[in-house]
Amino acid sequence: MKSHIANLFSPAAIRALAVPGAILLCVVAGAKWNWIAQFPDDWTLPVAAGINVILNSIIPNILPLTSTVSHALGTMLGSLVATLQFLPWPAVVLAVMLIGFKAGGLRLLALCLCALSYIVLAGFWRQSMATLSLVILAVPISVLGGFLLGLGAFLLPWVRRPIELLFDFMQTFPAFAYLIPLLLLFGFGPIAGLVATAIYAIPPMARCMLSGLTQVPRELVEVGDMTGCTPLQRLLWVELPSAKPMMMIGINQTTMAALSMVITASIIGGFDDIGWAVLSGLRQADLGKSLLSGLVIVLISIITDRITAGIFAGRRAQNGWHMRWGTAPVLLAAAAILGMGALSRWAAPDLVQGLNETRGVIDLSVVNSAVLGFVGRYGHILDALKSGILYYLVLPLRLGLSGAVLPTTWGFAMTPPVTAFYAAVALLLAIRQWAKGNPGGAAGTLSLAILLFIGLVGFPWPAAILLVMWCALRVSGPKFAFFAGASLGFALLSGLWIPFVKSLYLVGVSVALCALVGGLLGMLAAHNSWLSAGLRPINDALQTMPQFVFLIPALMFFKVGEFAGLIAISLYAIVPAIRYTEAGLRAVPATILETARQLGCTPAQSNLLVQVPLARPALLLGLNQTVMAAITMLPIAATVGTAELGQQIYISLGKADAGLGITAGIVFCLTAINLDRMLRAAAERCATPDQDK
């Protein structure tokens, strides 16, 4: 007992409880000194202007090189587009069906037939071939770049950590932010979009390359050394062949990344492809055109994923005589079909030209009318959903309970008695945590209570830095705490603190929605195989959709505004919540569940009291992936009216202000990296609960 009481008043416990005290002191001081409540503009540094000065001195010197590269890529892209649009679509469809049959059997053959038939019937064949040309040209560039980066990180261990950090930046840096420098280097047109696509798709290949080489069994390496291999021979004959499966997966993931980028690249591409069709539909409020053209990209992504996964990543059908065919003969047969199609184009040019330029048979106005009719009939339900989320989730996080709780919405106001009751409840919960020997939990409870009362926008910046550094210190040590504090310092000094904070509450609300809806669906799917099977293709489709496509249903039902962006972010980020919840719950050993049933637990008790706690590491990893997806989607959501970091990047694109875009992109990267490390460290702590609290 004495030992327990001593622990409650140990220096570590006192330091932990000092954190909410310091935060409360900042809140009180902020009411008197405005520089604590709001970072003064005079203290900011001209970071964006400095970046512009650097770029203006560099870009003119490399324009001759980029002009040469642009001319070469333009020639190749133009030739490839002309070739694919020259081939009659029946020949292309047959060739793709043959490759699909090899990669995935009859099911994939049928999927290819249905998907390509839709593209033809919708009248987007020529645009689809332009999009496919851009991807075909971008993927080899990305694969080569990723191969060299991954190989370099493997061969030079001392640069591995910096290169991995580069990968983190490349995967989290918003594509919008580097569109502006590319626009200055390559000019407005498809080549700038092609280069942006290639850059965006490099990290998956690089990571898979590095992972494959580092996972080569040590025994194989030793055998190579014992047989007298030089380092180069060992690399070529032992390590690279052993890493081939991961390299093939990297090609698959690189292809999917390139496809997800095509709409974003169209912003500076001016290219008559599917991405431009989606963008033009959104700008003209032609939701039918946007929806149908967006569905084309989804279908192309799905069949490309299935084919590349079957051929490169080894996920092929395990039955059927077609498995005896080699990949090379299938590709030669497909090339022969395309060659026959080209001959038919010369033999009957008018007929084939008419086939390729069909305008489609789907009436876009019917789609628009159906959407407007649905919104008209169920608009009151949509408005109620929108109001509920805004009043009870968005505003409390943005303005705090002190500013969001009003009699018109909540039925009461945060009067002094209500505020005192709120403080008493928070204090009681903190005392309970402290009495259990968890002073960190007590400090976290009090800090969270203060944050919820004040709101993210009004939270004093010194308190925010203190709270983040303390959390980082607890989960990952002093080095990470310093990095997290420096990241927030950069957001402050660059003048992007308020957009950064608004990004946090948008991410917070979308993650809360994903955790609620996705967690519930994942929990139900873990106990129902039929629901799990039904959710699987939906999850696959959501994961292969380009980000811009998620804006279409959000705009259809909720119009332009912050709420539409919030819904688009949630749709994009919900898949990890579903999949990790289901996987984590299914991974709980059946013997433990049987023991719980024998002890008298009901199914609900077994689920909530046994499965969920045991699956906590997987659930936290799912939360981590959900947060990363939400952050990735923020710049896209800015196009429909959100006011956060993504909007700053979007503004910079309109003004061609590369400095502002890059600065906001760096803040994005730092935010994503910090949240990723915190959540991963928390998941590791849950997996090893014996650590000191």
The CA distance from 301 to 312, in Å, is 15
Question: Could you tell me the two tokens for 32?
Answer: 């008197």
**Cβ-Cβ contacts under 8 Å for 497 (sequence gap 6 or more):** 39, 461, 491
Q: Residue 462: its pLDDT value, please?
A: 92
Average pLDDT over residues 616-620: 80
Asked whether 330 and 99 are in contact (CB, 8 A), the reply is yes
Residue listed under structure tokens 């033999």:
347
Asked whether 491 and 607 are in contact (CB, 8 A), the reply is no
Asked whether 149 and 213 are in contact (CB, 8 A), the reply is no
Q: Residue 360: its pLDDT value, please?
A: 63
CATH 1.10.3720.10 residue ranges for the chain: 131-294, 381-400+494-693
The CA distance from 422 to 508, in Å, is 22
Residues 195-211 have pLDDT tens digits of 888 888 888 888 888 88
Q: Decide if pLDDT at 328 tops 80.
A: no
Query: 0.75 cut: is pTM over it?
Result: yes
Average pLDDT over residues 238-267: 81
Q: Residue 692: its pLDDT value, please?
A: 44
Q: Residue 166: its pLDDT value, please?
A: 78
Q: Residue 318: its pLDDT value, please?
A: 46
Q: Decide if pLDDT at 458 tops 90.
A: no
Q: Residue 465: its pLDDT value, please?
A: 92
Q: For the chain, how are helix, strand and coil distributed in percent, rounded to 5? A: 85, 0, 15
Q: Which amino acid is at 348?
A: A
Q: What is the mean pLDDT of the chain?
A: 81
* More confident call, 171 vs 459: 459
Neighbours of 689 (CB within 10 A): 10
CATH superfamily of 131-294: MetI-like (1.10.3720.10)
Nearest to 127 by CA among 33, 47, 190, 178: 190
Q: Decide if pLDDT at 287 tops 60.
A: yes
Q: Decide if pLDDT at 617 tops 50.
A: yes
Q: Residue 9: its pLDDT value, please?
A: 58
Q: pLDDT confidence of 622, banded at 50, 70, 90?
A: confident
Asked whether 265 and 134 are in contact (CB, 8 A), the reply is yes
Q: Residue 350: its pLDDT value, please?
A: 65
The CA distance from 551 to 572, in Å, is 10
Q: Residue 693: its pLDDT value, please?
A: 44
The CA distance from 167 to 145, in Å, is 12
Asked whether 496 and 667 are in contact (CB, 8 A), the reply is yes
Question: Could you tell me the two tokens for 577?
Answer: 């919540």
Q: Residue 584: its pLDDT value, please?
A: 83
Q: What percent of the chain has pLDDT over 90?
A: 5
**Cβ-Cβ contacts under 8 Å for 189 (sequence gap 6 or more):** 74, 268, 269, 270, 271
Q: Residue 428: its pLDDT value, please?
A: 92
Q: Residue 358: its pLDDT value, please?
A: 61
Instruction: Provide Rg for the chain, Cα atoms.
Output: 28
Number of H helices, E strands in the chain: 36, 0
**H or E segment at 245?**
helix 244-260
Q: Residue 276: its pLDDT value, please?
A: 79
Asked whether 295 and 552 are in contact (CB, 8 A), the reply is no
Question: Could you tell me the two tokens for 439?
Answer: 């002073």
Q: pLDDT confidence of 351, banded at 50, 70, 90?
A: low
Cα separation values, 615 from 334, 444, 511, 530, 619, Å:
47, 23, 19, 22, 6
Q: Residue 540: its pLDDT value, please?
A: 76
Lowest mean pLDDT among 103-107, 266-270, 626-630, 687-691: 687-691
Residues 502-516 have pLDDT tens digits of 888 888 888 888 988
Cα separation values, 294 from 251, 375, 497, 572, 644, Å:
24, 20, 34, 14, 25
* More confident call, 392 vs 318: 392
3-class secondary structure for 417-452?
HHHHHHHHHHHHHHHHHHHCCCHHHHHHHHHHHHHH
Asked whether 573 and 511 are in contact (CB, 8 A), the reply is yes
Q: Decide if pLDDT at 691 tops 50.
A: no
Q: Decide if pLDDT at 574 tops 70.
A: yes
Q: Decide if pLDDT at 280 tops 50.
A: yes
The CA distance from 332 to 335, in Å, is 5
Lowest mean pLDDT among 35-39, 118-122, 156-160: 156-160
Asked whether 455 and 508 are in contact (CB, 8 A), the reply is no
Neighbours of 215 (CB within 10 A): 11
The CA distance from 117 to 96, in Å, is 12
Query: How far from each other are the two terminal CA atoms of the chain, in whole angstroms?
Result: 18
The CA distance from 112 to 307, in Å, is 9
Q: Decide if pLDDT at 4 tops 50.
A: no
Coil, strand or helix at 328: helix
CATH top-level class of 381-400+494-693: mainly alpha
The CA distance from 10 to 441, in Å, is 15
Half-sphere exposure of 687 (CA within 13 A, CB side): 12
Half-sphere exposure of 660 (CA within 13 A, CB side): 16
Question: Could you tell me the two tokens for 529?
Answer: 């195989």
Q: Residue 319: its pLDDT value, please?
A: 44
Nearest to 269 by CA among 193, 349, 377: 193
Asked whether 124 and 295 are in contact (CB, 8 A), the reply is no
Residues 483-533 have pLDDT tens digits of 999 999 999 999 888 888 888 888 888 888 898 899 899 888 888 888 888
Q: Residue 353: its pLDDT value, please?
A: 58
Burial classification of residue 474, based on how many CB atoms lie within 10 Å of its CB (0-12 exposed, 13-18 middle, 19 or more buried): buried
Question: Could you tell me the two tokens for 550?
Answer: 């998620």
Residues 394-429 have pLDDT tens digits of 888 888 888 888 888 888 888 889 999 999 999 899
